Amino acid sequence: MRVDPVHAAVGTFFNNSPMFRVPKYQRSYAWEASELEDYLKDLEEAFTKRKNGTPMNHFFGGMVSVESTVTGVVNQKRHELVDGQQRCATCVITVAAVIKIYKDILVEARSDGDTVNEDIILKRIDRLTKRFIEFSQEVNRQNHIVESLILSKADMQFFKETVRNLDPTSTRESHKRIELVYKSLISKINSLIPSASSIADKLDSLEILQLVLDSDFSIIHIVTYDTQEAYKLFQVLNDRGKSLTEGDLLRAKTLELLEGFQTQQNSTEHQWDQILMDKSKSTENYLRWIYQSHKGVRAGRNTLFDDFLNYFYPQDNSTTPITISNADAILLTTQNLNKELIRARKISMGNWPFVSSSRPITGWDRNRLGLLINELGLTVTIPLLLAGYHLGEKKFSETVQLLERFLFRYKIMSNAHIEAAVSIFQTHSVSMRSDPENYNTSMLKSALQALLTSRVTDSQFRISLENLCYKVGGGNKPLKYFLMTLEHYERWFQRGANGNPTCIDKTRIYDFSSTTLEHIYPRNAQIPVLDTNLEPLKNSLGNLTFMGPTDNVAGGNDSFSIKKPIFMASSVEMNKNIGNFPQWTNLEISSRKITLIDMACAIFKI
């Protein structure tokens, strides 16, 4: 492969109508706070040294591009950036920030009637714009406005509006990164120019900053001439320590496979832009959950790219050239992957994945998913839930309720080894996907019940519940979930606890964040309410309840006689039961604790 390396200042590469283009296989803008912090530090140091008359040379890294000619334009070259997009884009954003500050000073000059400096500013803005932002180019005797740098399709419009200071609205993580860099650079450059300075001094400072880019920051630009080789180079090169993510590599590989099939490649590119719109760690989690849901095993810690590629894109292992049917299959796989990722994104936030609910699914049923994921933090269930989606909404809801009751008993309360449960989840994920029409959630229920029988018996569960109490300082989500869940199944329990645990009245939905835990005998009792006999029991399970968001929570530190009518007027049934007690002593606390544990053993039996 022929390569021509050139080592020169950054500004050199933005002379003579530069045309840098980010190819389809490249990722979106990736610099985050850590890379930005380093850049701002380097920029300030170089500015300070040049201002003091001791300019430094700062090696800014490398760029690798594929050079081609522009049809219809003499001596015009186009460079597709294999590596260096982040540096190149950041340089353009830096100049855009400089132009923004020039325009601010222009307002000041016009206000002062300073026509000399007004003319200087306008000429500098024009020169910088034509070098770094856009320029006019004649093609076949017609003039066209050409962008100096074109980013990926997902970023280009936002980037284009940002460098023109049009204040666009960000819609994805890469947009937020571009916005952060632009605003941070404006702030940094303004900090280098004293606000009390004269217009002339401000212009001199900005000129020094331009010289930093034109003379002090240097880059090695490696030019190649083979597009196919560019794909291979891309997969092994990184930007200033910002490693390529598995999603970036998968995007690049699939687009490489589709080279020569433009329609499928363009559509696949669009799908990947949607897939990779989140933070890289979130995307990695989604991809891992999806792989585990399909394959029934976890992807390797360091082999997600290879594992994912081998399973979902077997065309990569073919020894024969890609055909149009292969190209269609790659596109279809990526479209399905995007759909799964959208579901994974929803489920990971505790949001119901079905667009519209049908009977018998209610708001109460949908709320259970949020409790499972957001309040109990049991994201270990997501691969199974992704598979359960294909069973339809009713069976998906059944799966959610099985998992929350099982894992509260198995993991939250008993802290049993999770891998035994994960093994069941993985097996049933594959079964759900392989034959969703004939899969019945009773299969999952039987497997989970068998695990409880062998690992968490009723006696063991009772012991763990004996220790469930209010923790001063926080960490009481499991306790709140426990009390709320008992409330929802209380009528089923009172009617004999026959069959599967069932919420009889699904019209009552308590918002988890708006409910509060309540001590029946006060947690901070003062004389004359203070009772030395009850003090040791005040944080125990029998002395605890919860109040709904519409309940009156006044009287928290009052005596039981004063709180009785508050409990009796509560929307929570268990509070009405508490209000029926004539008094609140050690006996009532102990008796209520036993009742709650009896209820739990029935409800969380699966």
Three state DSSP letters for 405-463: HHHHHHHHHCCCCHHHHHHHHHHHHHHHHHCCCCCCHHHHHHHHHHHHHHHCCHHHHHH
Q: Is the pLDDT of residue 141 over 90?
A: no
Which helix (H) or strand (E) element contains residue 200?
helix 199-211
Of the listed ranges 59-68, 79-88, 546-555, 584-593, the least confidently predicted one is 546-555
Between 242 and 209, the higher pLDDT residue: 209
* pLDDT score recorded for residue 240: 43
Q: What value does the mean pLDDT take over residues 443-463?
A: 96
For residue 91, give the nearest of 143, 133, 46 by alpha carbon: 133
The percent of residues above 90 in pLDDT, for the chain, comes to: 79
Name which residue leads in pLDDT, 537 or 4. 537
Instruction: Please state the rounded mean pLDDT for residues 241-255.
Output: 82
Mean pLDDT of 297-324: 94
Portion of the chain with pLDDT greater than 70, in percent:
96
Angle, CA of 420, 422 and 423, to the nearest 5°: 65
Examine the pLDDT at 529 and tell me if it is beyond 50.
yes
Q: Which long-range contacts (CB under 8 A, 24 or more apart) does 115-122 make?
A: 117/199, 117/200, 117/203, 120/203, 121/203
Name the least confident of 75-89, 341-355, 509-523.
Answer: 75-89
The stretch 46-62 carries a mean pLDDT of: 92
Phi, psi for 319 (deg, rounded to 5) = -90, -5
Predicted pLDDT at 63: 86
pTM score, whole prediction? 0.84
Q: In a 3-state reduction of DSSP, which class is residue 540?
A: strand
Determine the straight-line distance between the first and last CA of the chain, rounded to whole angstroms: 64
Asked if residue 220 lies in contact with residue 6, where contact means CB atoms within 8 angstroms, the answer is yes
DSSP conformational letter for 239: B
**Distance, CA of 485 to CA of 490 (rounded, Å):** 8
Q: What is the DSSP string of 249-277?
A: HHHHHHHHHTTT-HHHHHHHHHHHHHHT-
The span from the CA of 163 to the CA of 255, in Å, is 28
pLDDT of residue 250: 93
Asked whether residue 549 carries a pLDDT value surpassing 70, the answer given is: yes
Res 231: pLDDT: 65
Find all residues with CB under 8 Å of 295, minimum gap 6, and list them: 307, 311, 430
Q: What is the mean pLDDT of residues 375-385?
A: 98
Contact 176, 163 (CB under 8 A): no
Q: Other CB atoms closer than 10 Å to residue 413's CB: what's the count?
A: 21
User: What Cα–Cα distance (Å) separates residue 60 from each residue in 48, 188, 233, 307?
Assistant: 17, 18, 19, 35
Other Cβ atoms closer than 10 A to 426:
19
> Residue 276 class from Cβ within 10 Å (0-12 exposed, 13-18 middle, 19+ buried)?
buried
pLDDT score recorded for residue 143: 82
Per-residue model confidence as pLDDT tens digits over 176-235:
999 999 999 999 999 999 877 899 999 999 999 999 999 999 998 888 887 666 666 665
pLDDT over threshold 60, residue 242: no
pLDDT at 69: 85
pLDDT tens sequence across 388-432: 999 999 999 999 999 999 999 999 999 999 999 999 999 999 999
Mean per-residue pLDDT of the chain: 92
Residue 239: pLDDT band (50, 70, 90) is very low
Q: How many CA atoms lie within 13 A of 292 on its CB side?
A: 24
d(CA 19, CA 4): 17
Q: What is the pLDDT of residue 126?
A: 96
SS3 576: helix
The predicted model gives 91-117 an average pLDDT of: 96
Tell me which H or E stretch contains 365. Answer: helix 363-370
Task: Say which residue, 249 or 336, is predicted with more confidence.
Answer: 336
Check pLDDT > 50 for residue 241.
no
ω into residue 353 within 30 of 0, thus cis? no
Q: Which of 347-351, 525-529, 559-563 has the largest mean confidence?
A: 347-351
